[in-house]
Amino acid sequence: MDAAQLEKDVSEIAGDWKNKEGNLIMILHRIQSKYGYVPREVSLEISKHLDIPLARIYEVITFYNYFKLEPPGKCTISVCMGTACYLKGAPTLLNELERVLGITEGQTTKDGMFRVEVVRCLGCCGLAPVLTVDGKIYQGVKKNEIGEIISKYAAEENGGNGGHKEKP
């Protein structure tokens, strides 16, 4: 990340909100919508600009799980852990995703390709267990389909279609 650009961004955003109530949250929202997450360098810069301890900034970021500390992946895989999905095997799907991708929930693969998140009920419990990839719903997913789903998105990113047949 370009340090000069970063300083300019923070200074602009922080400047807009400097003496306004709730400024830290609003600044963090602006930062996240710009970068997709709140990079540590940015938190340090905000801390300097607003004269707020870094620990306080992290307290706010971690309190609201909306804020992310890691860059988003090109593909976000969200595993539903609502009751219906949980009972129908969502924990097994999550374990398999973590095993195949070598990351844990809330992390992004080193190549920036995949991010895995856990979400609560997606409102389609009759299709459990459910996961989404970039918002596309996969229903009744089985552990042995995880590899195929990942390969499909990895292949698409590399310019092919991976030969995957989507569920109707």
- Identify the three-state secondary structure at position 105: coil
- Identify the three-state secondary structure at position 33: helix
Stretch of 53-61, 75-83, 108-116, 151-159 contacting ligand FES, by CB under 6 A:
75-83
Is residue 121 within the footprint of ligand FES (CB under 6 A)?
yes
Q: Where are the beta strands (DSSP E) in the chain?
A: 75-80, 114-119, 131-133, 136-138
Are the beta carbons of 93 and 109 closer than 8 angstroms?
no
Q: Which of 13, 27, 85, 150 binds ligand FES (CB under 6 A)?
A: 85
Is residue 130 within the footprint of ligand FES (CB under 6 A)?
yes
Our CB check for ligand FES shows the closer of 37 and 138 to be 138
Stretch of 28-36, 83-91, 92-100, 157-165 contacting ligand FES, by CB under 6 A:
83-91
Is residue 82 within the footprint of ligand FES (CB under 6 A)?
yes
Are the beta carbons of 50 and 23 closer than 8 angstroms?
yes
Q: Which of 77, 122, 141, 150 binds ligand FES (CB under 6 A)?
A: 122
Are the beta carbons of 156 and 162 closer than 8 angstroms?
yes
Angle subtended by helix axes 40-50 and 54-63, to nearest 10: 120
Our CB check for ligand FES shows the closer of 6 and 121 to be 121
Tallying the residues shown for the chain, one arrives at 168
Q: Which of 62, 83, 104, 139 binds ligand FES (CB under 6 A)?
A: 83
Which positions touch ligand FES (CB under 6 A)? Answer: 80, 82-85, 121-125, 128, 130
